[in-house]
DNA sequence: GGTAGACCTGGACGC
DNA sequence: GCGTCCAGGTCTACC
């Protein structure tokens, strides 16, 4: 089954895929051919319980989504809605692009259709993944997410090796020791377990925050109330929700700012924030897509 | 409100 | 092969 979805222009699927590291985390995938064309794959468990695989490619007016299974009308609508969300197909970045034209370090943004961030279909998935990026190497994040998905994700019938991201209920039913020792989440295990149980029980309606009109500072407080989510993680989640008032400052960003404006001298989070303060409600995006002078593999 | 120490893992390094 | 050190954000206790 194939779906055609339009995108607000300028749009580049490749730019979305390369926007950050999520593409390397299960159940996202990208074989060599898709790396060259900018496409991606994703395995998802639909509300009906069925696990489907999506093959997403750039098309004339947006993207085409090939689903490996025949879908009901309800399922097809769900897939379309999720892909629109994941790729931010409807996002209007024209104001940011106008501002970026005046800054040489951001002049590339509009021409290359950058600005969108790849995100997961659910805020639960993005929150778990964000927690698993904290206080570890990128290789560690990949390993933890891979273990988490392979242990608790529902398998694709045609290829059980490929699995969807676990639903909260499945994770909630496990215990901390399994998450620590088997999935090797370390001290993050109780954070992920508590999050899953809060969402599964209905105590925390995480998905409602995707479209809430709460002020950004209030939304940030909601994220900071989640165990394992601190200033960096909260800012990262806000970015994914299109709120760019806070910068997800991590050690890499501190290093970049240090070399960009302080001659490599030690700086802290406050210097990073000060460097982008003038960008106001767009500061997170300005930071994210800044053309850094200092070369680093990040 | 600010700060020190603990948390957990894997990789780098020295022996 | 083994032990030690270090990097990576957040939490808790304490001031």
Query: Does residue A73 lie within 7 Å of nucleic acid chain B, judged by its CB?
Result: no
**If you average pLDDT over every residue of chain A, what do you get?**
95
Q: Which nucleotides of B are covered by protein (CB under 7 A)?
A: 7-11
CB A262 within 8 A of CB A271: yes
How sure is the predictor about A290, in pLDDT bands with cuts at 50, 70 and 90? very high
> Left (φ > 0), alpha (ψ -120 to 50) or beta: where does A164 sit?
beta
Residue range A218-233, pLDDT digits in tens: 999 999 999 999 999 9
Q: What is the dihedral of CA A169, A175, A177, A181, to 10 degrees?
A: -20
Please check the confidence at residue A298 and state whether its pLDDT lies above 50. no
Tokens at A154, concatenated: 């529902």
Query: Does residue A251 lie within 7 Å of nucleic acid chain B, judged by its CB?
Result: no
For residues A46 and A40, what is the distance between their CA atoms, to the nearest angstrom? Answer: 18
User: Shortest CA–C1' contact from A224: which nucleotide?
Assistant: C10
CB A190 within 8 A of CB A176: yes
> Which chain A residues 102-161 have CB under 7 A to strand B?
135-137, 139-140, 143
Q: Please state, as a whole number, how many other Cβ atoms lie within 10 Å of the Cβ of residue A182.
A: 13
> Which chain A residues 238-257 have CB under 7 A to strand C?
250-252
User: Shortest CA–C1' contact from A185: which nucleotide?
Assistant: B8
Tokens at A158, concatenated: 């045609």
How sure is the predictor about A35, in pLDDT bands with cuts at 50, 70 and 90? confident
The pLDDT, as a whole number, for residue A297 is 45
Residue range A125-150, pLDDT digits in tens: 999 999 999 999 999 999 999 999 99
User: Shortest CA–C1' contact from A186: which nucleotide?
Assistant: B8
Residue range A40-59, pLDDT digits in tens: 999 999 999 999 999 999 99
b/e map A30-47, b = 16+ CB within 10 Å: beeebeeebbbbbbbbbe
The pLDDT, as a whole number, for residue A265 is 87
Please check the confidence at residue A249 and state whether its pLDDT lies above 80. yes
For residues A17 and A116, what is the distance between their CA atoms, to the nearest angstrom? Answer: 9
User: Shortest CA–C1' contact from A184: which nucleotide?
Assistant: B9
Please check the confidence at residue A294 and state whether its pLDDT lies above 90. no
Q: Which nucleotides of C are covered by protein (CB under 7 A)?
A: 7-12
Query: Does residue A272 lie within 7 Å of nucleic acid chain C, judged by its CB?
Result: no
Residue range A59-71, pLDDT digits in tens: 999 999 999 999 9
How sure is the predictor about A296, in pLDDT bands with cuts at 50, 70 and 90? low
Global confidence as pTM: 0.97
Provide the CA A15 distance to its chain's centre, in angstroms: 14
Beta bridge partners of A44: A52
Query: Does residue A269 lie within 7 Å of nucleic acid chain C, judged by its CB?
Result: no
Residue range A74-101, pLDDT digits in tens: 999 999 999 999 999 999 999 999 999 9
- The stretch A207-213 carries a mean pLDDT of 97
User: What angle separates helix A123-131 from helix A189-201, to the nearest 10 degrees?
Assistant: 170
Query: Does residue A30 lie within 7 Å of nucleic acid chain B, judged by its CB?
Result: no
Tokens at A62, concatenated: 């947006």
Please check the confidence at residue A295 and state whether its pLDDT lies above 80. no
The pLDDT, as a whole number, for residue A266 is 86
Q: Nearest CA to the C1' of B11 belongs to which residue? A: A137
Q: Give the residue from A175, A191, A179, A187 showing the smallest Cα distance to A148.
A: A179
| Full set of structural domains in chain A with CATH | 2-111 (3.30.310.20), 123-240 (1.10.340.30), 251-296 (no CATH)
Query: Does residue A60 lie within 7 Å of nucleic acid chain B, judged by its CB?
Result: no
Query: Does residue A180 lie within 7 Å of nucleic acid chain B, judged by its CB?
Result: yes
């Amino acid at each position: 089954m194939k779906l055609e979805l339009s995108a607000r222009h300028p749009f580049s699927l490749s730019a979305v895929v390369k926007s950050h590291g999520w593409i390397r985390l299960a159940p996202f995938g990208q074989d060599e051919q898709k790396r060259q064309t900018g496409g991606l794959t994703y395995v998802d468990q639909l509300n009906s319980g069925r696990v489907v695989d999506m093959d997403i490619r750039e098309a004339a007016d947006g993207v085409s989504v090939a689903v490996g299974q025949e879908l009901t009308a309800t399922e097809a609508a769900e897939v379309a809605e999720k892909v629109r969300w994941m790729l931010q197909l409807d996002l209007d970045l024209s104001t940011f692009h106008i501002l970026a034209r005046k800054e040489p370090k951001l002049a590339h943004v509009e021409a290359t259709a950058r600005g969108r961030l790849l995100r997961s279909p659910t805020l639960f998935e993005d929150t778990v993944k964000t927690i698993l990026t904290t206080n570890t190497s990128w290789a560690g994040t990949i390993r933890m997410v891979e273990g988490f998905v392979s242990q608790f994700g529902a398998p694709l019938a045609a290829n059980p090796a490929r699995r969807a991201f676990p639903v909260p209920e499945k994770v909630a039913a496990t215990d901390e020791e399994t998450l620590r020792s088997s999935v090797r989440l370390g001290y993050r295990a109780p954070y992920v377990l508590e999050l899953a149980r809060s969402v599964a029980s209905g105590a925390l309606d995480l998905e409602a925050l995707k479209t809430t009109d709460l002020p950004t500072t209030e939304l940030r407080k909601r994220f900071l109330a989640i165990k394992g989510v601190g200033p960096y993680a909260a800012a990262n989640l806000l970015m994914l929700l299109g709120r760019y008032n806070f910068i997800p400052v991590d050690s890499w960003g501190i290093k970049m700012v240090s070399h960009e404006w302080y001659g490599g001298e030690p700086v802290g989070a406050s210097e990073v924030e000060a460097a982008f303060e003038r960008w106001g409600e767009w500061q997170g995006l300005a930071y994210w897509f800044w053309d850094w002078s200092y070369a680093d593999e990040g």
